[in-house]
A and B are shown apart, each in its own frame.
Chain A
């Protein structure tokens, strides 16, 4: 009755030295490799993870991923654009550019100076304690320097915008003129670092992809802020200003160079900017900030002034989107870099 294929109980076998030697070999192989590659059972999950100088601690990342929420890249975008807009507005005023451009730039700065702290406070784990930021000033903390820069910038640019509004509505007066001029000077002075300090903020951290790029990040973020500010002003109607066109071109050229720098180097620490989702975000942000506005602006320069507005509108929208995507990409790259367990342990990458 029994099925010859089923051997529930193997036939009795007499152990000999060869069989015992084989069992010992299986044991040795299991000990040596963590698995046995012969006929028989291959345990699920084999080969088992090991802790070693090549595999680290089971490949568990040493560094913690950033604990920031999505408000932070948004803040980088808004703050960068607002800081650059304040500088553009003040210089436009001092060089005697048209009044509407000055006023619109001021309004971008003032709006940014209200939105930026709101985003920062929303990101805090304990938002009700945001005033704790102003207990101390620590030059060795880029975030402390940044908070005080934001305070100065917010006060200056909102004062300038407020005084300008009052002057337009109720006529000029000495106190308003003092407030407007002092506010504008402050928003220029604080706007310069405010437009790029976020590059230092993430550069001076333990995250490899950030700290290894600390020498480029502030300039890169400043260019990103300028292209966003120029784009916003162009969308507000200043599509005939040659000064804005020149600033937009300059920023787009720098962003092209930044993209080439990232793509052209083979360092391991740049991987999060080139591979995976953060790599594609970086590329998308780079293309929207660099080549696309560069080509559109170059084409606009060749056209007659009254026909160039449409191209500049597209360049503006691309630059604004590129600036936002770039900030998100850098934060995402930081997450990917923190997950890379090899980098802080100085374990070389396996060949791709």
Chain B
């Protein structure tokens, strides 16, 4: 008997909570990062995790691959990594009947979950090999298009320090990431817990919570969540406010931004808000949902100008100002 929508929503919440709980067995703290990553996965998006080494970025992705019954590959990006090393290449192979022929040898990209570790260490050429895979979920090698398995996620990490010999991700590449999540330092309590867990021979037993088919079903459910027109309008106005030197631009955007968010920013905000509404047991998207996901969705889509960099202004500061300045109900009557 097929589940009703209400049951599906109930199932979504349970699954989400269970995933969070399972990850929490390994990950200490970083609830926002965990929630953000899960949100991106349920919205079929890729995540860029940025943080100094040792904060558990790779651990998070590995744990995620363990709780999801999905194939997982890790690609360690280095300057000498070539596109073919990621996508795969044609090799001359001998068939059982003794003939020799070219056969495509699949690269590590062919998995459900890809951990692109230290993605900014690869050359732009190699980085761009990920573009098609991330957007179209397919690769083109030796003139042949090959579909990637669904669901497909790229969870990339990058280090904000030690910039020597790195290649900053091009804007087009950044735009393909659903969220950019900043992994911060743990609190004292969290750090104590980390020590306890990692130095006393304790090994958490993780349980598979969701397989690929189930995840796809839940991804479909997310897309069905209704959004009122004025809520959509708010998302649009938020994104429009980031476009510098335009009529809709927020003053702070005009002052400190060179380029604003692409339409993908608005898509991301709405999808992320839908996931958040479901996780909170609601059937509709609220302004709060939009505001909650706006930071992760927009921070990597805004390009600062020289003035902002000189003054140490970050995109997070600008987004916070825009969230403050853009009214929620533009046409609502004030009391």
A and B: bona fide binding partners: no
**Which residues of B pack against A, CB within 8 Å?**
none
Residues of A within 8 A of B (CB): none
